[in-house]
Amino acid sequence: MERQSITTSPIVDIAYLARSEHRIPTLISLTQRPQSRSELCELNGVSSSTMRRTLDEFDDRLWVRKEGYRYVATRLGETIASGMEDLIERIETERKLRHVWHCLPDEIVEFPFETWSDLRITVAEPDTPYRPGRRFESLLQNTTTLRFLRPEVALMDLCFDLLYQLVGKGVEMTLIDRPECHTYFRSTYPTRSSEMLQQDNFTILEHDDLPQYGTGLLDGCIVVSCYEEGSGTVHALIDTEAPSVREWANSTYETYLASARPVELEQSAE
């Protein structure tokens, strides 16, 4: 068989690999250990004739060699497989980020790809609108400290029962939000809010000029909550343990903390 011409564009080989879903997994699997054609067929769910053509085409490009009845990737094949894995990871990360790109803080947008790939993104869907809130609730379960800049009603209302329990258990909490948000909780849950405010480990502060996103610091985890402008609903929740994001989140929180003010409390009862 005539070898693949090196005069063609590299895009030709990329398109060839991407055109059938089994080709990239096949090449990657052959970098891990030698495999027979029947093993590759079972792994990828394709016919023997399809796999034979694929292996012939790989051999034409010098990506594989045959050892007895098994095939294994050459160093050229390993290089291509590694590059395609990197490309797939980048595209998967981009596909996650495109849902929240418009509401990400500028600092996170400027982080390198390696930081982006560490972000876990929970997006609200029409049939699961509370997914971001439930994700946040799961992160709260084992935290010993919570500092949150702009903990919007749409996020915290879902978790209020848990927040109340955690304060009672001694979890340190400081919340910085707009006055109207604190007013909502004090009027909706007057007795429990009053009890929480009497605890030394619970502090609420007010600020009139907060960013459009929320920033939470839970022990070693950072969360960024993305709100839909106008509706106040939580579009997505991002969480990560990336050190660079934690450094940014801590700096952002401390900046607003310095200019926040204590809430003026009024006694109320249910």
Residue 134 belongs to a domain: yes
Residue 8: predicted pLDDT: 76
Tell me, rounded to whole angstroms, the distance of Cα 66 from its chain centroid: 41
Residue 233: predicted pLDDT: 84
Number of domains composing the chain: 2
Residue 270 belongs to a domain: no
Residue 135: predicted pLDDT: 96
Q: Are residues 113 and 86 in the same domain?
A: no
Q: Are residues 68 and 108 in the same domain?
A: no
Domain residues for the domain of 46 are 10-90
pLDDT in tens, 207-242: 999 998 999 999 989 999 998 876 668 999 999 999
- Residues of the chain below pLDDT 70: 1-7, 230-232, 265-270
| Domain end marker among 63, 90, 117 | 90
Q: Are residues 71 and 117 in the same domain?
A: no
pLDDT in tens, 115-148: 999 999 999 988 999 999 999 999 999 999 999 9
